[in-house]
Amino acid sequence: MARIHTVDPAKATGKEKELLDGVKAKLGLVPNMTRVMAASPAVLEGYLGFSGGLAGGRLSPKLREQLALLVAQQNHCNYCLSAHTAIGKLVGLRQEQLTGSRTGHGDTAHDTAALAFAARVLETKGQVSESDLAAVREAGFSDGEIAEIIAHVALNVFTNYFNIATDVDIDFPRISYEEIA
């Protein structure tokens, strides 16, 4: 059970209701993470804005999910591993891509370079080197795409920490950071 108040969408009012109704309209369901975030409409609105903005970016849905899986694995967030494994399947990632992403291995040199750069952003807490930037550029990423990789790391660190700290109940098929096939 979550460690802070979970908002029941059926009982929500005001801004909470508006935001949760929007989540349901978009996804067809209201995941537990957003129910807990709704305890502070500002938190939920901030998450939805950041996530929605990045969804319109240059990175493919598959690569965005691969980045989310890498970050969740590194941060030991079972909620996010579970959610992004399910979403990854929906956007067309195969099982070996789902598993490989968690350890920084993509199907292509391009994807692996993005995952390696994201891992460096995590490991160095953003203090990446010129050689880290050169490597991801050499793999074909533009400065805009590099900015998006960094932003996806930041967004996923936020959701990882939020879900871990509040112990959000996992409402997707459960995946554990301890189990890598």
Domains of the chain by start residue, with CATH = 14-55 (no CATH), 61-166 (1.20.1290.10)
Higher pLDDT pick, 142 / 181: 142
Structure token pair of residue 20: 């949760």
- Say yes or no to pLDDT of 181 above 60: no
Neighbour count for residue 49 (Cβ, 10 Å): 10
pTM of the model: 0.95
pLDDT of residue 79: 97
pLDDT of residue 2: 79
Residues 99-124: pLDDT tens digits? 999 999 999 999 999 999 999 999 99
CA distances from 12 to 9, 17, 29, 45, 159 (A): 5, 5, 15, 15, 22
Residues 5-58: pLDDT tens digits? 999 999 999 999 999 999 999 889 999 999 999 999 999 999 999 999 999 999
Nearest alpha-carbon partner for 101 in 133, 125, 136, 66: 66
Contact between residue 37 and residue 47 where contact means Cβ atoms under 8 Å apart: yes
In the chain, alpha helices (H): 14-27, 32-37, 41-55, 61-75, 78-90, 95-102, 109-123, 130-138, 143-166
State the Cα–Cα distance between residues 128 and 120, nearest whole angstrom.
6
Burial of 48 (0-12, 13-18, 19+ CB in 10 A): middle
State the Cα–Cα distance between residues 124 and 10, nearest whole angstrom.
43
pLDDT of residue 1: 75
pLDDT of residue 180: 77
Q: What percent of the chain has pLDDT over 90?
A: 94
